[in-house]
Amino acid sequence: MTRCVVVGGGAREHALAWGLSRHADVVVTPGNAGIAAHGIPCTPTPAPELEADVVVIGPEQPLVEGLADELRARGTAVVGPGAQGARLEGSKAYLKEFLVAAGVPTAAHGTFHDLASAAAHLRASAPPYVIKTDGLAAGKGVLVTDDLAVALEDAAAKLSGSAFGAAGSTVVIEEGLIGEECSLHFLCAGGRARLLAPAQDFKRVGDGDRGPNTGGMGAYAPMTSLRADQVAEVRERIIDPTLAELARRGIDYRGVLYAGVMLTARGVRLLEYNVRFGDPEAQVLVPTVEGDLVELLRGVAQGDVTNGVAHAAGHAVTVVLASHGYPAAPRQGDVIAGLGEDGQLADPIDGVVVFHAGTRRHADGSFVTAGGRVLAVSASGATLEEARRRAYAGAAAITFSGKVSRGDIAARAAS
């Protein structure tokens, strides 16, 4: 049996491990209480010390730090780019330089190190104002606002280091783009790219896209409103030039390239690249992957990917349950009701899987909240409506004090 190691400890890694475990022996490092309860072994032993045919690296941080390079140097097959490729996500300033060199359509931008020039740029721009920290900030380093005063205050906080430390000491200010957003995950290797089901995630904490940005409050796939000509435009104008630029820079990119794309009235624009599966997108992509996920990811690790589009099997919706106070100041330690011994729904619902993001287990076996995002309740269905109904039934069956979730995940698409 193929032995897979999954690196990470959130709901994305739970979903990947769950999907892989249908066709492989899986170990997760470090994993979490919910993954272990689900019968998938977790270990604190770091990936380089584990036996593996394939290692799948979930989060961006170890990729940026070069874990994939370290593993490849030992001859291990890895899903995830090396440190050079991971800079596409690790530095917004590098990303922008890369996109300009590649000729990929993206928001116009300026890079700033001091407040005076950042403020002058903002005053000369039209809303919406978009201000990003240069470094990694777990999806929370981006402010989009129509209010110039708020924008100026945010730029000041980021540049002073008070908001994100060193990650914020350079800011990128972008032209605000207007349109529908989508998450397009490409499996990349050998200069080729295969598109998984188009997905949409919901980044703001509140219904109707209100409130601050979060890591992601829910997602669905496939996004059936995305037209074939838009997919073709993304490939032609964004992906092909990116693959060519990677080759020009001598980067052998083997991993997931997740393009955050805005569909604007003037065509597709790249918002950002992530160099790994989205979270919570993985929680809907894994359940809808057609075929054997182990073979698919092994192909990526070994440089064997075919161009094209992978068809989705059915539909999936995931609803994130977050802690009281998320995202600013999440509370921990609230007891979770509705889960059984295995961390899944105590009263199972067809097609529903509960992926654990931030839970801990008490000595008495009960689960408690232990992070901002706590659980992602995913459901598959023959239709989006069915998947959505099941996901919300599952989400309602789980309760804890201060539970934060959105009621409108996939609502528009399913209506």
Residues of this chain that bind ligand GLY (CB under 6 A): 139, 201, 216, 274, 278-279, 281
Q: Could you tell me which stretch among 139-147, 216-224, 342-350, 355-363 binds ligand AMP (CB under 6 A)?
A: 139-147
- Biggest CA–CA distance in the chain, Å, is 60
Interface with ligand AMP, residue 177, by CB under 6 A: yes
Site for ligand AMP in 99-118 (CB under 6 A): 107
Q: Choose the contact partner of 278 out of ligand AMP, ligand GLY, none; CB within 5 to 8 A by kind.
A: ligand GLY
Interface with ligand AMP, residue 144, by CB under 6 A: yes
- Which of 19, 4, 60 is closest to 196 using CA atoms? 19
How far is Cα 149 from Cα 151, in angstroms, rounded to an integer?
Answer: 5
Asked if 38 and 345 count as a contact pair (C-beta separation under 8 A), the reply is: no
The one-letter amino acid code at 13 reads E
Interface with ligand AMP, residue 193, by CB under 6 A: no
Asked if 259 and 186 count as a contact pair (C-beta separation under 8 A), the reply is: yes
Member of 25, 70, 153, 181 binding ligand AMP (CB under 6 A): 181
How far is Cα 268 from Cα 237, in angstroms, rounded to an integer?
Answer: 8
Nearer to ligand GLY, 81 or 338 (CB): 81
How far is Cα 356 from Cα 202, in angstroms, rounded to an integer?
Answer: 18
Member of 272, 279, 281, 334 binding ligand AMP (CB under 6 A): 272
Q: Min. distance of Cβ 40 from ligand AMP in angstroms? A: 30
Q: Which residues pair with 171 in a beta bridge?
A: 112, 133
Asked if 231 and 216 count as a contact pair (C-beta separation under 8 A), the reply is: no
Nearer to ligand AMP, 183 or 288 (CB): 183
Q: Choose the contact partner of 317 out of ligand AMP, ligand GLY, none; CB within 5 to 8 A by kind.
A: none
Interface with ligand AMP, residue 260, by CB under 6 A: yes
Nearer to ligand AMP, 78 or 410 (CB): 410
How far is Cα 303 from Cα 369, in angstroms, rounded to an integer?
Answer: 39
How far is Cα 87 from Cα 205, in angstroms, rounded to an integer?
Answer: 27
Q: What share of the chain is helix, strand, coil (3-state, %, to 5)?
A: 30, 30, 40
Residue 177 vs residues 119, 126, 129, 146, 228: alpha-carbon distances, Å: 20, 11, 9, 12, 22
Q: Min. distance of Cβ 137 from ligand AMP in angstroms? A: 8
Member of 271, 285, 353, 379 binding ligand AMP (CB under 6 A): 271
Instruction: List the Cα angle 58/4/48 in 5-degree steps.
Output: 75
Residue entry with tokens 């589009």? 309
Side by side, the strands of the sheet bearing 180-189 are 267-274, 255-264, 180-189, 192-195, 308-309
Q: Min. distance of Cβ 136 from ligand AMP in angstroms? A: 10
Q: Min. distance of Cβ 184 from ligand AMP in angstroms? A: 13
Q: What is the DSSP letter of 138?
A: T
Interface with ligand AMP, residue 176, by CB under 6 A: yes
Nearer to ligand AMP, 13 or 272 (CB): 272
Nearer to ligand GLY, 339 or 376 (CB): 376
Q: Min. distance of Cβ 83 from ligand AMP in angstroms? A: 20
Asked if 16 and 277 count as a contact pair (C-beta separation under 8 A), the reply is: yes
Q: Min. distance of Cβ 355 from ligand GLY in angstroms? A: 14
Q: Min. distance of Cβ 129 from ligand AMP in angstroms? A: 9
Q: Choose the contact partner of 334 out of ligand AMP, ligand GLY, none; CB within 5 to 8 A by kind.
A: none
Q: Which residues contact 116 (CB under 8 A, 6 or more apart)?
A: none
Interface with ligand AMP, residue 89, by CB under 6 A: no
**Residues within the interface to ligand AMP (CB under 6 A):** 107, 130, 132, 139, 142, 144, 174-177, 181, 203, 213, 260, 271-272
